[in-house]
A = this chain, B = another copy of it.
């Protein structure tokens, strides 16, 4: 059974778009090293590969471990090589007489670049291409939106089923284990990032790893979780209060919720991403929590958990229908704790749809 993130036709269409765009960029080919861009253009999900897109053809290079799988997953011509991928790619470049070859400097290590460059045929050259495929990936197809929707639903169901049974005295890492298990049983391949479960003062670490510490009565617990399902990411953050929250934390929660709703309200096609960030930041500043909001308001997600556009202070990307982003303001007070609320949303024709179905009411266990 092949693992496909979309019908084969969708991958072919994407490669045709790239083929058609080569001439404008004065390129004869685009070389895509292993990355979500490769999966996006070929359907191949293995852990070692390179793709060469030329007008009218796509050539995928991988190793013998993926012989059968590559044939199932992609309509590209598959080349199986036992040696370094660079050698196989270079010999195709020679054989096909490719001259101007676009490469992705954000996705390629210096070592791969140097090995390619030092063995290129005399008349060939490598030309940096920045953000082309990432830009294509920003606006999701209906098929991709379906997959993201399913990933979001799996994630929220896993949260509900787990939290419904969570009890004081569980360790952070056991709670994370339950969340990830539920995700998988509901159809996810894996978490889209290391699940964050952090109780008490540790919730003030925006990217805390779960520890053996037990969540205790009176604690505030941050849960930040996401799934990869059929390759597509979801991302959500919710807060749990074990017992009654102190008034200061309740105030913080209300402020973050207000900021999150304001940012969601600001999402619509034609608006620049920084305006959405501004909407959240303005609310928190009004609550004198501007300095405690130490990160961006959100990020794009799809085949990667973080992909363009960033929803940050300086991000000028204009939002478009079909973009999927997170909205996740948060405030962190060392010693006291942190509060963050996060949804996955999709830009629609006249605003946005919040995909995450999980309630944002202050939740007490």
A interface, CB within 8 angstroms of B: 1, 3, 45-47, 63-69, 103, 105-111, 113-114, 128, 130, 173-174, 176-178, 180-181, 184-185, 187, 189-191, 194, 202, 204-213, 294-295, 334
Do A213 and B1 have beta carbons less than 8 Å apart? yes
Set B3, B64, B177: member contacting A211, Cβ < 8 A: B3
Contacts of A64 in B (CB 8 A): 206, 294-295
Nearest 7 pairs between A and B by C-beta? A177-B184, A105-B110, A64-B294, A181-B181, A65-B206, A105-B111, A106-B111
A111 CA / B190 CA spacing, docked (Å): 29
Do B190 and A184 have beta carbons less than 8 Å apart? no
Do A66 and B207 have beta carbons less than 8 Å apart? yes
Contacts of A295 in B (CB 8 A): 63-65
A98 CA / B262 CA spacing, docked (Å): 46
Contacts of A181 in B (CB 8 A): 177-178, 180-181, 184
A68 to chain B, nearest CB (A): 5
Set B69, B128, B184, B213: member contacting A207, Cβ < 8 A: B69
Residue of B nearest to A48 (CB): B207
A290 CA / B113 CA spacing, docked (Å): 34
Contacts of A46 in B (CB 8 A): 207
Given contacts A68-B205, A204-B68, contact A109 B107 (CB under 8 A): yes
Contacts of A176 in B (CB 8 A): 184
Do B334 and A3 have beta carbons less than 8 Å apart? no
Contacts of A207 in B (CB 8 A): 46-47, 65-66, 69
Contacts of A67 in B (CB 8 A): 294
Contacts of A45 in B (CB 8 A): 209
Set B108, B185, B213, B334: member contacting A177, Cβ < 8 A: B185
Do A184 and B189 have beta carbons less than 8 Å apart? no
Contacts of A66 in B (CB 8 A): 205-207
Contacts of A177 in B (CB 8 A): 181, 184-185
A352 to chain B, nearest CB (A): 25
A299 to chain B, nearest CB (A): 12
Contacts of A294 in B (CB 8 A): 64-65, 67
Residue of B nearest to A107 (CB): B109
Set B109, B180, B204, B209: member contacting A184, Cβ < 8 A: B180
Given contacts A47-B207, A110-B109, A207-B46, contact A189 B180 (CB under 8 A): no
A58 CA / B91 CA spacing, docked (Å): 43
Central interface residue in A63, A130, A177, A178, by most chain B CB within 10 Å: A177
Residue of B nearest to A210 (CB): B189
Given contacts A68-B334, A207-B65, A294-B65, contact A194 B189 (CB under 8 A): yes
Residue pairs across A and B with Cβ atoms less than 8 A apart, 23 shown, are A1-B202, A45-B209, A47-B207, A63-B295, A65-B294, A66-B207, A69-B205, A103-B110, A105-B110, A105-B111, A105-B114, A106-B109, A106-B110, A106-B111, A108-B109, A108-B110, A173-B184, A176-B184, A177-B181, A177-B185, A180-B181, A189-B210, A190-B191
Contacts of A63 in B (CB 8 A): 295
Contacts of A113 in B (CB 8 A): 110
Contacts of A189 in B (CB 8 A): 173, 194, 209-210
Contacts of A47 in B (CB 8 A): 207
Residue of B nearest to A334 (CB): B68
